[in-house]
Chain A
Amino acid sequence: MTTDSARATAGVRPRVVVLDYGSGNLRSAERALARAGAEVTVTADLTAAAAADGLVVPGVGAYAACMAGIDALRAGPVIADRVAAGRPVLGICVGMQVLFEYGEEHGVVSKGLGLLPGGVTRLAARRLPHMGWNTVDVPPASRLLAGLPADGRFYFVHSYAATEPAGLVAAGALVTTATHETSFVAAVERGPLSAAQFHPEKSADTGALLLRNWLAHL
């Protein structure tokens, strides 16, 4: 892309905002993105979130609590506007899950941002949380995971996930899956929207690869 090469030539680092809506280990995301080459700001400021070259939506803990934090900040429309305008957004863990239409935890259904079709439900696995380093099945056209070795692993820690890739594929998304007793959606790429169920910021060199790939297309 022209802007990429222009920026690279100028030695300018892409400006990334990590959205601070009260969730997660934001410092980890900030450091990992900086290591991957971004100029990172952690902020709740929506003007900065709208203006950044890339916006990262983090999230750990409960779906409902994350949505409450996003709603309290009124960040939902900013995220949606960015995607509608073709401006990159990366959701991580629960920050990916909230991009779907809904999340169901403990029998309670919470409305999500609805930028991806389908919902997030409890994994049909005996051993939960799914915790540790797992491999992923990457579609050949993936930009986010380009260059990942076949045995590359990412750090996952979650009990809920999107488990219906068909709806995403039908909606034009590239879907990376992983298996923990059952198959689930590990990453999604659709236009400006990217998302990972795992934690690239905690995934050592493979995580850095993903973040560099994302930054390269901002």
Chain B
Amino acid sequence: MTVAVRVIPCLDVDAGRVVKGVNFLDLRDAGDPVELAAAYDEAGADELTFLDVTASSDNRGTMLDVVRRTAESVFIPLTVGGGIRQVADVDTLLRAGADKVGVNTAAIARPELIAEIADRFGRQVLVLSLDVRRAAPGTTASGFEVTTHGGRRGTGLDAVDWARRAAELGAGELLLNSMDADGTKSGFDLKLITAVRAVADVPVVASGGAGAARDFPPAVAAGADAVLAASVFHFGELTVGEVKDALRGAGHPVR
């Protein structure tokens, strides 16, 4: 057998609450990240990702408390991203119970941060997150560009080249979030996954665009090791089990 394709629900957390409405299961408090995390664990999620969407300094203490309480209530790996600027931030999150940390903007500004984190904690803790959009013609060699500010601001950085470099610098995993596909429910950006798979040997997580169970197997066929989604799970449009059934049906191993 081989390693199973991971199905990862992602929770956007702001000031200790899940934002982007959540409407699945019959929860007493659908906005509580801890309660949702436990429900996804119960539903067979292979991993969980928390994204601290504001990541202001005021919010950090609240986020740490959420991480701590979540880590108390689940027995699967937890990744936390958002607002990580330095090695000390990683240390704080790991001590609070995170297993991996997602780094995005700070690594674009200062790529050495990747090696610093990998050297201190091992590359397995570091998920490099890329918010990617199709670039204007002639902007980048691959046709994909890294963005910041939720996809609104281009960086001119070639997304495929950045993914390759990040893996070389010590990123243990790449989270490809397609800003073009995000929220469209038209399927993952398969060209992006294929292009990054061709240049990086670390695990790749596909994100952005999932609308139906049938959208997931092509992402894996294109080279993704894991699939991440938010709204389709939160709104109860899809269950983790349905995604796994679709993957299994396409011949991919699942837990």
Contact = CB atoms under 8 A, between A and B. Distances in A.
Interface of A: 25, 27-28, 31-32, 35, 60-62, 126-135, 153, 155-159, 179-180, 199, 201-205, 207-208
A179 B1 contact: yes
Interface of B: 1-6, 41, 46, 71-72, 75-77, 94, 97-99, 120-125, 172-173, 201-203, 225-226, 255
Given A127-B201, A132-B226, A135-B1, A25 B173 contact: no
Contact of A156 (B3, B122, B225): B3
B75 A202 contact: yes
A155 B77 contact: yes
Contacts of A127: 201-203, 225
A204 B76 contact: yes
Contacts of B3: 130-134, 156, 180
- SS class, residues of chain B in contact with chain A: loop
27 contacts: A25-B97, A25-B98, A27-B71, A31-B71, A60-B122, A61-B125, A127-B225, A129-B172, A129-B173, A131-B172, A132-B4, A132-B5, A132-B6, A132-B225, A133-B3, A133-B4, A153-B255, A155-B77, A156-B3, A157-B99, A179-B1, A180-B3, A199-B77, A201-B75, A202-B76, A202-B77, A204-B75
Contacts of B172: 129, 131, 157
Given A180-B3, A201-B75, A126 B122 contact: no
Contacts of B77: 155, 157, 199, 202
Contact of B1 (A62, A128, A131, A134): A134
Contacts, number: 93
Contacts of A27: 71, 97
B75 A128 contact: no
A199 B75 CA distance: 10
A129 B71 contact: no
B46 A132 contact: yes
A200 to B, nearest CB: 9
Contacts of A135: 1
A61 B122 CA distance: 4
Nearest to A152: B255
A133 B46 contact: yes
B2 A204 contact: no
A159 B75 contact: no
A80 B113 CA distance: 38
A37 to B, nearest CB: 14
Contacts of B125: 60-61
Contacts of A153: 4, 255
B2 to A, nearest CB: 7
